[in-house]
Amino acid sequence: MFPQASLATDNGIMFASPGNFNKLEAGTAKVVDRLGSVSKGTGNVRHLDDVPRINEIEVKFKRNIKHDPEEFARQLKDQEKGMNELTVDEYLRNREKYIAEGRAIEGNAAQKMARQEALKDKITELRKQGLSRADATKQASEWMDTQAALHNPDQIAGGRADNIGGLGDKRVNSSLGSQWKYRIDIVDEQIRKMAKNMSPKEIKNTYLNVKLTQ
């Protein structure tokens, strides 16, 4: 049994406090009640509706009033989804690598490829709207200057360097990345504390249960 999680409000972190595992309920982010389940899927696709998860950890972020609220909510939700697709083992290994080495250089190649594909798609989209190739290329390049290739989650939050989840407003992305710096240590602490009470098998088969809010 995992220890009861504590409640904390510093740095935007809050922890749910169920003493035991509870069955996952529709529309909630509760903790499941068994450790025997494993994710099922084909290739890299994971079906995570019914897998064991740690106690919920809520992390609060603040949106800059100058940033688009819908874009902020979208990027936050995508990072939450990405984190909850990680097992405890994956998260801890990715974090250890990030702490030791910083941002992985292979992430640069993945981001460059994602940006090239997005630029090509944007030019095609604008051409279909009737723009000349020159105008379409100019507008697409201007749009690209506002975009960042997104890791879901950010590498600092346990994301893989080669896992790019599309493009998004780079100001929002930078804001989230900056805020993670002051929140991730407490997330690490809570996950490591829970991992101490798991067997090696449980660490590999238990998934995160993170809720990112604002």
Which alpha helices (H) appear in the chain, and where do they start and end? 69-83, 88-101, 106-128, 133-144, 170-180, 184-195, 200-205
Q: Residue 106's CB: how many other CB atoms inside 10 A?
A: 11
pLDDT digits (tens, 9 = 90+) for 5-32: 433 444 565 544 433 333 333 332 333 3
Structure token digits, residue 62: 């603040």
Confidence at residue 102, expressed as pLDDT on a 0 to 100 scale = 86
Please write the tens of the pLDDT for every residue from 31-42.
333 333 333 333
Dump pLDDT digits (tens) for 139-168. Answer: 999 999 999 999 999 999 999 988 888 899
Q: What is the pTM of this model?
A: 0.74
Distance CA 106, CA 114 (A): 13
Instruction: Write down the mean pLDDT value for the chain.
Output: 82
